[in-house]
Copies of this chain bind each other. A is one copy, B any other.
Amino acid sequence: MKTGGPLDERKAYILATVVYEYIATAEPVGSQTLTEKYDLGVSSATVRSEMAGLEAGGYLVQPHTSAGRIPSDIGYRTYVDQLMKPEQLGEGDRRRIREELHDASRELDEIIEHTTRLLGRLSNNLAFVTKPQADAHVFKHVQLIWLTPRTGVAIVVTSFGVAAQSLFELGTDVTLDELTRFSNALNARLAGRLLRDVPDAEVAAVAAEAGMGDDLRGAVANALRNARSNEQPGVAASGTQNLLDQPEFHDVRKLRSILRIVEEQKTLYDLVADTMDAETPSVKIGRELGNDELADLSVVTVPYRVGPNAIGMLSILGPRRMPYGRLLALAAGTADTLSERLSDVEIK
């Protein structure tokens, strides 16, 4: 299967129409259906020979000899990159998203969860949103709370509220005054800086200067590391049941893989981890997801921001046969609103 040269205009139009029709109906598209439903200006016989060409070029495949054609990964890819026209979100949808999100809580996690549910509902697919990469947040405060002479809690607060906590248990007694002094030492040095600009070594150094013991230092370092959470942020997901409507999932085996993936946040995150850096909308189609079990799924992903920095991603997972244009517009619109909302709740 060679990818063929560039498509001439008529081939391109026919490919676009096949993809469009297949997305709408979930049925393999034949030459006759095509000439009947769309005004191609040529007969079905001509369409047949063009389709044979598209199949030879790797854009279409035929499930069996006497069936119509469906797009291949390459066919969808060409459609998304070159053929489809970008869609805009209607003003109604846009307003509805804004209203829903602005009613929500001020807590970061709840905002993310709420956004995820909203996106799942509006997209009629499975939505998932990565929690913010906090390392671009501003460090506000660390508080060491004394509970008993040997236990306490270390709390890290950023410009988005409480970012992490860590219970600690010490080998030797510590007083309330000591904890207060430690907290002050850390705050004096760290307040106002970006989390990512605070290396572990510096925390250790400040702690050592202030005379903090090892276990206490460990607890603070631990809380800060959790706050940064830059290896692998949590992921919120919503809308699995929407996928059941799609005919492609009436096969139970496919559902297995999806359910497993949704339950294990890590796999879900891995699906989009590499698009995090790109900072632009991205579409992954079928085998491009790098997982054979997901070969007939696609994902669209759009980053959301605070200020200029992309700090997380909104994604929609659905059948390969998904309305790419609409979902991209929806994700982008939601990402915009989420970004605004996050700027609102950020403590300046």
Q: Which residues of A contact B (CB under 8 A)?
A: 106-107, 140-141, 143, 145-148, 151, 153, 155, 157, 161-162, 165, 167, 169, 238-241, 244, 249-250, 252, 255-256, 259-260, 263, 345, 347-348
* Pairwise interchain contact B244-A252, C-beta atoms closer than 8 A: yes
A284 to chain B minimum Cβ distance, whole angstroms, is 23
* Pairwise interchain contact B145-A143, C-beta atoms closer than 8 A: yes
6 contacts between A and B (CB under 8 A): A107-B167, A141-B145, A153-B157, A153-B162, A238-B263, A239-B263
* Pairwise interchain contact B263-A244, C-beta atoms closer than 8 A: no
- Look across to chain B and name the residue whose beta carbon is closest to the beta carbon of A241: B259
A168 to chain B minimum Cβ distance, whole angstroms, is 9
Which residues of chain B are near A146, meaning CB under 8 Å?
Answer: 141
Which residues of chain B are near A107, meaning CB under 8 Å?
Answer: 165, 167
* Pairwise interchain contact B143-A143, C-beta atoms closer than 8 A: yes
Which residues of chain B are near A263, meaning CB under 8 Å?
Answer: 238-241
* Pairwise interchain contact B153-A147, C-beta atoms closer than 8 A: no
* Pairwise interchain contact A240-B259, C-beta atoms closer than 8 A: yes
- Most B CB within 10 A of own CB, among A238, A241, A249, A260: A241
Which residues of chain B are near A259, meaning CB under 8 Å?
Answer: 240-241, 244
* Pairwise interchain contact B157-A161, C-beta atoms closer than 8 A: no
Given contacts A145-B143, A155-B162, A348-B148, contact A167 B244 (CB under 8 A): no
A106 to chain B minimum Cβ distance, whole angstroms, is 5
Which residues of chain B are near A155, meaning CB under 8 Å?
Answer: 143, 145, 155, 162
Given A162-B162, A250-B252, 19 additional A-B pairs, CB 8 A: A106-B167, A141-B145, A141-B146, A141-B147, A143-B143, A143-B155, A145-B155, A148-B347, A148-B348, A153-B157, A153-B161, A161-B165, A167-B345, A167-B347, A240-B259, A241-B256, A241-B259, A244-B255, A244-B256
- Look across to chain B and name the residue whose beta carbon is closest to the beta carbon of A243: B259
- Look across to chain B and name the residue whose beta carbon is closest to the beta carbon of A143: B145
Which residues of chain B are near A347, meaning CB under 8 Å?
Answer: 147-148, 151, 167
Task: Please provide the 8 A-B residue pairs with the shortest distance between their CB atoms, ordered closest to farther.
Answer: A241-B259, A162-B165, A161-B167, A241-B260, A240-B259, A151-B347, A244-B256, A106-B167
